[in-house]
Structure 1
Amino acid sequence: MNKKMQLYNRLHKLNTAQIITLGFAGVIILGGLLLWLPFCTAPGYHTSFTDAMFTATTSICVTGLVTVVTATHWTLAGKIIILVLIQIGGVGLISLGSIIFISLRKKISLRNRRVIQESYNMDRMGGMVRLVKKVLICVFGAEGIGAVCYAVRFIPQFGLAKGLGYSVFTAVSAFCNAGIDLLGEDSLAQYVADPIVNFTSVGLIIMSGLGFVVWWDIWDKIKRVIRGKLPVGRIFKNLRLHSKIVLMMTLILVVGGTVLIFLFDHGNPESIGTYSPGTKWMASLFQSVTTRTAGFFTVSQERFSNATYMLCLVLMLIGGSPMGTAGGIKTTTVAVLLLSLKSNLQGKRDVEVHHRRIRDSYIRSAIVVTGMVLTVLILMSMLLCAAMPEAPIEDVVYEITSAVATVGLSRGLTPCLNTAGKWIVILTMYLGRIGPLTLGTAVTVRVQKMPADSHLAEEDIMIG
């Protein structure tokens, strides 16, 4: 009994970072064990434990890299388990656990409310239950709209039952930025010239990548416009600073990425060079958006030029925005780093944007997040090169970047991974999903802190 109490006390003392870290690991293991069971594998196929764990990890981490073809390898039960894992990964473990408590009419404790607050990086604890409900309404509402749009194309093509199933699965996967589909090895390549599939996917990916806080901020300003309390032309000016940065960065990345991809590859017959001008622009837009953690593709990644390859690496690393379903180091992190660089070059003491000052703690966090992601990227790339010395270096870097940023795009290396390579990518996807900063907080040993008013002696060093 004492051992049980000791275990309970240890679990009760876990902080938010540790709960997220262990929670994701637990769900991955459970999902992997379920997918390993015979009833999840289609007749004529064999699922190794490694492939089961790889599929569970890529699903819960909403990455999209797959070692087996989802459409043919798994039974209906296996596909449902994958869909559930994707939804859990997209909604988040904290939100899922909270909504279960709400559904059972259980009271959420003060400690659990604090966990919700910290997991969403909110500055106050009030309205946590309402926050979780709003997140779920946004998720299921957007996925429902996406499923209806996909159904317009899939039901006539595949029939009612199959088309509806494909629509729901693709909508959930797109909004959660998973990039896993039931259409075969070529993802959405057969729809490269289809505006319905392209713009539905692009819309879901962008909306989920903005983050729910931005949604609510925009909706609040729209309501004020409807009530006559705010002129339409002043909506952007009245948005929170976070929303302004996210929207500006998203616009720059989407538009800039589309234009550059078009310029780099419009004459490349291996990628988009043979398409009509309209299809070229649509394919460029899709590639620009999907590289920011979605994982679907309408053009095989290995067909793009080297210039587009380098651009896609940058877009994958940046990813989406906080409090959404996207991965990467996040748009706000990059914005803070660029603004800090600008301020230092101008000789300014403070980092300023839109007549506001960015806190020093946010700048430090941006540096830590970026540094940790780059560290994981370099380390895992070296390990994968060692495990698969015959693999081209550009494919290895693309694979690891895609895994750490939870994108799911590959230049054809994923199905060729050996067992060691698969476990390296599994670990990379896990680290990329829970976030290097969260992992660091979870495993850091407590050290005795120096008094706040105590400072060590300074000494000069040379920089640059």
Structure 2
Amino acid sequence: MRNWLPNSLTRRLEVNPQARTLSASPPLVLALGFMALIVLGAILLSLPQAAEQRLGIFQALFMATSAVTVTGLAVIDPATDLTHFGQIVLALLVQIGGMGFVTFAVIAAITMHKRISVSQQALALEAFNQTSVSRIRSTAFQVFKIAALIELIAAAILFLRWTIDLPWTTALYRALFHAVTAFNNAGFSLFHDSLVPISGDFVSVMTLSGLIILGGIGFTVLADVGQKKRWQTLLPYTKLILIGTLILNLIGFTSLWALEFNNPKTLGMLGIGDQALAAWMQNAATRTAGFTTMDIAHLRDSTQLVMIVLMLIGGGSLSTASGIKIGTLIVLLAAVRSYIRQREEVVLMERSVAPETVQKALALFLITGALYFISVLLLTLFEDLPITSLLFEAASALSTTGMSHGITHKLSTPSQILIMVLMFAGRLGPLTLIYSLATRKRSRIRYPEGNFQVG
């Protein structure tokens, strides 16, 4: 019947099916990829051999979401409720979610000598936050090599330390598990009460906090430091992130220690040395890692407020951490400084910042703030719990930190669904999530400038 049609119409029919093919934006493909990984993880965790008592599908879905988004919030205790199979599945989900499924996809394509298509290149650029296609391959391999090297070295150190007190098989298993969860900034632990039992162990605390900081600093920064090795030759962005990370860690450490040193329910009963270790580890974990070295519910309100701010800031771009990111905060502060000094350009490290970058930073800040406010408002409607606990829970989920007042498993189903949505949005980035749901339209229309009052 097709042969009876005119040639022109035949050609249209051949083209139209391709024209109707769904063309999804790279952020949307990323979102769908993470969703698929969460569903797969939920199926594996719901298997009878994954838990001591088989998990319900909703419990498995929550745990899979928390693992893939490298959050660490839990409705069960992974140390006691999951079997070795379930714990391994959890660690694998954390590893894939932390490094990004796109990294593995690009590495697999390169290994199989397959050419990366234009659409795949766009997807990789979105995932790696890069602007140059030529750097996709090198970035993918750098991510894999850096993560593997750091995790293996840290696991070896933890194994040598823990094998003194534990059977070597248990020490090796726990060392590998914690190396993965710490570097990927997920708060899952195989110790009871998170890291409280080892909060006074210098080797364990410094190794795990080092993993958290390295994982949250960003792969591009680590790669640049590894290649250049000299401060003078580092990229301006690398210098900014290193300085910003140092300042935020010092502020967090001194604030936590100063506010809690005489609190008998947290640091007050410890010696000076143990106080310093516990405060340092808690500060490092607050940067979206989620481990705890003290009872979060007994922290002073002022301490919790500082921790909420640190959680929402998060780590560096292209890292295992979430939050608005250090770079976003620095750009916004630079924009404020430029306005106060009445400078037209926003300047950092003797480099001007593009207006699009400032707009992106402002949009990310406002969208994150709006999501946080709306989520807290909904939690107050769903739950009859202290507002401090709900503020902390929402910030922990949105920043994929994973710390809690111990109320996660007590929340109602609507609240737990909301927490899952926040974890998912926090991992992808609120701006990316909004972008994936919107259709980008370019307009050639230009309007005359108007005078609008602000402030």
| TM-score category, normalised to shorter length | over 0.9
Aligned 1:5-404 pairs, distance under 5 A: 10=21, 13-42=23-52, 45-184=53-192, 186-222=193-229, 235-388=230-383, 390-404=384-398
Identity within the alignment, %:
30
Alignment-mate amino acid for residue 209 of structure 2: V
Displacement after TM superposition at 1:273 (Å): 1.3
Uncovered stretches (5+) of structure 2, i.e. residues with no partner: 1-12
Alignment-mate amino acid for residue 199 of structure 2: V
2:434 to 418, 422, 440: 440
* Cα separation, 1, equivalents of 2:448 and 2:351: 32
Describe the superposition over 1:412-459 as per-residue Cα deviations: whole angstroms up to 9, x where unpaired: 111211222211101110111111111111110344x321xx432343
- Provide closer, same or farther for how the CA distance between residues 316 and 457 of structure 1 changes in structure 2, counting only shifts above 3 A: same
Displacement after TM superposition at 1:119 (Å): 1.9
Alignment-mate amino acid for residue 79 of structure 2: A
- Provide closer, same or farther for how the CA distance between residues 282 and 124 of structure 1 changes in structure 2, counting only shifts above 3 A: same
Aligned 1:408-423 pairs, distance under 5 A: 408-423=402-417
* Cα separation, 1, equivalents of 2:48 and 2:206: 38
Describe the superposition over 1:220-277 as per-residue Cα deviations: whole angstroms up to 9, x where unpaired: 222xxxxxxxxxxxx3233211111101110100011111111111111111112111
Aligned 8 A contact 1:91 1:325 in 2: yes
* Cα separation, 2, equivalents of 1:333 and 1:78: 36
Aligned 8 A contact 1:208 1:325 in 2: yes
* Cα separation, 2, equivalents of 1:242 and 1:441: 25
Displacement after TM superposition at 1:145 (Å): 0.9
Aligned 8 A contact 2:30 2:123 in 1: no
* Cα separation, 1, equivalents of 2:194 and 2:161: 15
Describe the superposition over 1:70-113 as per-residue Cα deviations: whole angstroms up to 9, x where unpaired: 01111222112111100111110110112222343433334323
Aligned 8 A contact 1:205 1:294 in 2: yes
Describe the superposition over 1:49-84 as per-residue Cα deviations: whole angstroms up to 9, x where unpaired: 211110000000000000100011112221121111
Displacement after TM superposition at 1:8 (Å): 11
* Cα separation, 2, equivalents of 1:152 and 1:391: 43
Matched position secondary structure for 2:163: helix
Alignment-mate amino acid for residue 116 of structure 1: A
Normalising by the residue count of structure 1, what TM-score does the alignment of the two structures yield?
0.91
Is 2:454 aligned against 1:463? yes
Normalising by the residue count of structure 2, what TM-score does the alignment of the two structures yield?
0.93
Alignment-mate amino acid for residue 100 of structure 1: A
Describe the superposition over 1:318-362 as per-residue Cα deviations: whole angstroms up to 9, x where unpaired: 000001111110000000111111111111111112211111111
* Cα separation, 2, equivalents of 1:117 and 1:279: 44
Aligned 8 A contact 1:50 1:423 in 2: no
Describe the superposition over 1:281-306 as per-residue Cα deviations: whole angstroms up to 9, x where unpaired: 12111121111111111112112212
* Cα separation, 2, equivalents of 1:108 and 1:320: 29
Describe the superposition over 1:391-427 as per-residue Cα deviations: whole angstroms up to 9, x where unpaired: 1111001001000000001111112112222111011
Displacement after TM superposition at 1:7 (Å): 9.6
Matched position secondary structure for 1:182: coil
* Cα separation, 2, equivalents of 1:24 and 1:437: 16
* Cα separation, 1, equivalents of 2:381 and 2:40: 30
1:450 to 398, 421, 443: 443
Alignment-mate amino acid for residue 72 of structure 1: T
- Provide closer, same or farther for how the CA distance between residues 10 and 154 of structure 1 changes in structure 2, counting only shifts above 3 A: farther
Aligned 8 A contact 2:47 2:54 in 1: no
- Provide closer, same or farther for how the CA distance between residues 7 and 450 of structure 1 changes in structure 2, counting only shifts above 3 A: closer
* Cα separation, 2, equivalents of 1:164 and 1:7: 53
When structure 1 is superposed on structure 2, of 324-333 and 262-271 the one drifting more is 262-271
- Provide closer, same or farther for how the CA distance between residues 9 and 177 of structure 1 changes in structure 2, counting only shifts above 3 A: farther
Matched position secondary structure for 2:74: coil
Alignment-mate amino acid for residue 15 of structure 1: S
Matched position secondary structure for 1:157: coil
Alignment-mate amino acid for residue 36 of structure 1: S
Describe the superposition over 1:125-170 as per-residue Cα deviations: whole angstroms up to 9, x where unpaired: 1142232111100011111011111112322333121211111000
Cα RMSD over matched residues? 1.8
Matched residues, number: 441
Displacement after TM superposition at 1:32 (Å): 1.0
Alignment-mate amino acid for residue 194 of structure 2: S
* Cα separation, 2, equivalents of 1:272 and 1:39: 40
Alignment-mate amino acid for residue 38 of structure 1: P
Aligned 8 A contact 1:50 1:419 in 2: no
When structure 1 is superposed on structure 2, of 281-290 and 422-431 the one drifting more is 281-290
* Cα separation, 2, equivalents of 1:383 and 1:411: 18
Matched position secondary structure for 1:357: strand
* Cα separation, 1, equivalents of 2:173 and 2:18: 43
Aligned 8 A contact 1:50 1:422 in 2: no
* Cα separation, 2, equivalents of 1:107 and 1:445: 28
Matched position secondary structure for 2:288: coil
* Cα separation, 1, equivalents of 2:236 and 2:411: 43
